[in-house]
Amino acid sequence: MRLIVLLLVILFSLPAFALAKEAKSVSDDPELEKRVMALSEELRCLVCQNETLAGSQAELAVNLRNQIREQMKAGKTDGEILAFMTERYGKFILFRPPVDYTTYLLWFGPFVLLLAALIFLFRYVKKRRGLIVDIPLTPDERRRAEDLLQAEPRKTTI
Amino acid sequence: MRYAIPLIIFLVIAGFLGSRLRGGYDPHIIPSVLIGKPAPDFSLPELRDPTKMFSPKSLRGKVWLLNVWGSWCIGCRQEHPYLMQLSRDSTLPIYGLDWNDKREPALATLAELGDPYVISVFDPDGRTAIDYGVTGAPETYLIDKEGVIRYKEVGQLTPEIMQNKILPLVRELNK
């Protein structure tokens, strides 16, 4: 029993070891590392495309982070480094796509669809309203309705 | 007619999704921004002789291929026999960029499979590969006499790509 518990403890602590390895700091300057990781969040890992450069352990991502680190050490601004990356890999490397003519559909497409749906809904409701024929109650029906409303509420077993 | 509208919308969506599934669409192929731009310059040690440096400037006046490879890359292994054939037929000079690799396994690979490269340069930390916008191996660049990148193939070179895309360009560039 003790052996099993021990094995379980080891098993469940494995992810902690794995994390410890991932978080390995490359330079000894925590401020610089923070900047590198912040900028890496803005860039796409080109190997595993739905991940940012910050989260990826692909070899290319490691190389690119090294490149960012070096350029930061050389005094480059974040904007200059982003320009360096887009010159080589295109706008696709930017994790948050910029608003320009190639991405209008991406940015504004959903709003166009929403607007189209609202117009459709409005026109549909308007058309339906026209279909409803207003039939006024006859005096006889009105009297019956009033009687029902004024009558003692019947005791029901709900 | 009113019942046909959902069907039409469905067919349009299905057609769009289907066209992406067929026709070998690969989201990893990112259109290169470097086509029509000067090939980034570099000076890297040769794989076989680290004391010698190679720079693409020395190839001005030639049309050549730059092939990104690595001993760790399975696709490169599959592409290798075709590169050997191109080199035997001396279709185009092929230069290699040994990317994110170690020297010993790279040399062992060439010893085992043959060496299709005029020169292969050694880029162990992928610095030059970043300048070329490399995202994976193999990748091949066609570079003209003025040192401008004319074409980039992401993935393996095949006889079809060579015949239909690269060689017509080469004929034009050699005029």
Reported ipTM: the value is 0.76
- The Cα of A31 is separated from the nearest Cα of chain B by a number of Å equal to 24
Asked whether residue A7 is domain-assigned, the answer is no
- Split at pLDDT 50, 70, 90, the class of A46 is confident
Q: Which domain holds residue B65?
A: 34-173
Does residue A89 share a domain with residue A32? yes
Say how many domains are in chain A.
2
What residues of chain A lie within 8 A of the CB of B73, using their CB? Answer: none
Helix (DSSP H) and strand (DSSP E) numbers for chain B:
6, 7
Asked whether residue B106 is domain-assigned, the answer is yes
Q: Does the beta-carbon distance from A88 to B127 stay under 8 Å? A: no
Please tell me the distance from the alpha carbon of residue A97 to that of residue A94, in angstroms, as a whole number: 6
Relative to beta strand B53-54, strand B120-123 is unpaired
Q: Does the beta-carbon distance from A88 to B33 stay under 8 Å? A: yes
Whether the Cβ atoms of residue A52 and residue A41 lie closer than 8 Å to each other: yes
B6 touches chain A (CB under 8 A): no
Q: Which of B73, B125, B130 to probe by mutation at the A interface, max A CB count within 10 Å?
A: B130
The per-residue b/e assignment along B118-154, b for 16 or more CB within 10 angstroms, e otherwise, is: ebbbbbeebebbbbbbbbbbbbbbbbbeebebbbbbb
Relative to beta strand B64-69, strand B94-99 is parallel
Q: What is the pLDDT of residue B24?
A: 66
Single-letter residue type at A80: E
What residues of chain A lie within 8 A of the CB of B132, using their CB? Answer: 88
Q: Which of A51, A71, A88 to probe by mutation at the B interface, max B CB count within 10 Å?
A: A88
Does residue A29 share a domain with residue A80? yes
Asked whether residue B22 is domain-assigned, the answer is no
The residue-averaged pLDDT of A136-147 equals 90
- Split at pLDDT 50, 70, 90, the class of A19 is very low
Each residue's pLDDT tens digit, B54-63: 999 999 999 9
Q: Which domain holds residue A132?
A: 104-150
Q: What Cα–Cα distance (Å) separates residue B140 from each residue in B10, B56, B133?
A: 40, 14, 11
Please tell me the distance from the alpha carbon of residue B85 to that of residue B116, in angstroms, as a whole number: 8
Q: What is the pLDDT of residue B136?
A: 86
Asked whether residue B1 is domain-assigned, the answer is no
pLDDT at A20 over 70: no
- The Cα of B89 is separated from the nearest Cα of chain A by a number of Å equal to 33
> Residue ranges of chain B with pLDDT lower than 70?
23-24
The per-residue b/e assignment along A86-120, b for 16 or more CB within 10 angstroms, e otherwise, is: bebbbebbebeeeeeeeeeeeeeeeeeeeeeeeee
**A88 vs B28, B31, B130: nearest CB:** B130
B130 touches chain A (CB under 8 A): yes
Does residue A85 share a domain with residue A40? yes
Does residue A113 share a domain with residue A83? no
Asked whether residue B85 is domain-assigned, the answer is yes
B26 touches chain A (CB under 8 A): no
Say how many domains are in chain B.
1
B47 touches chain A (CB under 8 A): no
Instruction: Write down how long chain B is.
Output: 175
